[in-house]
Amino acid sequence: MQHILPNYRVMSRTTLRDRMENNTKQMKARVTNAMENIKYIATTTDCWTAHRQSFIGVTAHWIEPDGLERCSVALACKRLKGAHTFDVLAGALNDIHTEYNIRDKIVRTTTDNASNFIKAFRVYAGEEGSTTEEERENGNDSEKDDEDLEVETEAVEVEALMEEEDECSEYQLPKHHRCACHLLNLISTVDAKKAESKDGYRKISRAAFAKCSALWNKTARSSTAAEVVEKECKLQLIRPVDTRWNSHFLSVERIMRIVRESGEGAIRAVTMALKVPMFSPAELSFVTEYASTMNPISKALNILQGEVDVHMGWLVPTITLLTVKLDRLRTSSNFCQPLITAL
């Protein structure tokens, strides 16, 4: 700075810290005042790990009474130390809700389908209906068995029972809502793998995706390989990311776009230059069919993941239309019948 602006005085670490703390207090005060007169608030939360550190993020959403506009603010993005157990998550959420004085205003908190979040709300929000069908059936069976048994009185330790109740009432969480987009992501990944139980589908899908992965890995590791793809195909390949299912679909769709616009010769030239196996005609047909099958799910996810225009009323029509589109694809599908059935 002395060479660029000799007369400029760099602020000290203490000054920078004080300004950041003051700005943080002012920001929290503005957010608290904005939600002070709001009766109903919804929150979303997520927990993740980056650079060997854990974080929890919470956002708040409400409808402005005057203009009926949707408003959203970020309440927290803070470190979360220790294991991501249900009680640690419940404590962090309770502290954030209490800090902004909105604990009694929250009507729902939306999370993904992680077991730690589900248990946190089951224990500290008293969620009903969270048991599985198998658990309910087992419970009904046990009730029938109990009717046939002679009633016996069992002594319990009152102090231990009271301590257990105190632990459950330590935090007060709002009602829980599971994210529909995350459920659809699970359907597209976990449930879609059930199609591999069919020998024909498993054989051709593994062969086709193995060659796709070879192309993705080559272009990701070598700039020379990427230049070859750009020269022959006039487009670059997209490499899938594990945390984003849509990226896998987009990666496959990019290969199909290259075949559609530049022809099979472009892909053949790339595979020869990179010394990877070329797709057989059946494998190309399978990849094309796979992209067509997954395209409606990708569009449904894009609709439901909207931040401004989407509403809860869009969920059932979107899922219904998705089911109709998958049923229509069944009549023209040669390879992906098991995939459509699994979805």
pLDDT tens readout for residues 55-78: 999 999 999 988 888 899 999 999
The residue to which tokens 């022959």 are assigned? 232
- Residue 210 has what pLDDT? 93
Contact predicate 101/71, CB 8 Å: no
Q: Would the CA dihedral through 165, 167, 173, 175 be positive or negative?
A: negative
- Residue 15 has what pLDDT? 94
Q: Is the pLDDT of residue 148 over 50?
A: no
The domain ranges of the chain are 27-133, 182-342
Can you tell me whether residue 148 is helix, strand or coil? helix
Name the token pair of 135.
């658990």
Q: Are strands 41-50 and 106-111 parallel, antiparallel or unpaired?
A: parallel
Tell which residue, 249, 239, 252, has the closest CA to residue 298: 249
Given pLDDT bands bounded at 50, 70 and 90, which one contains residue 248?
A: confident
Can you tell me whether residue 187 is helix, strand or coil? helix
Residue type, 96: I
Specify which residues 61 forms β-bridges with. Answer: 42, 72
Over residues 210-235, mean pLDDT: 89
Tell which residue, 98, 50, 100, has the closest CA to residue 74: 100
The residue to which tokens 């192309």 are assigned? 215
Can you tell me whether residue 54 is helix, strand or coil? strand
Given pLDDT bands bounded at 50, 70 and 90, which one contains residue 339?
A: very high
User: For the domain with range 27-133, which CATH number is right: 1.10.3720, 3.90.350, 3.30.420, 3.40.50?
Assistant: 3.30.420
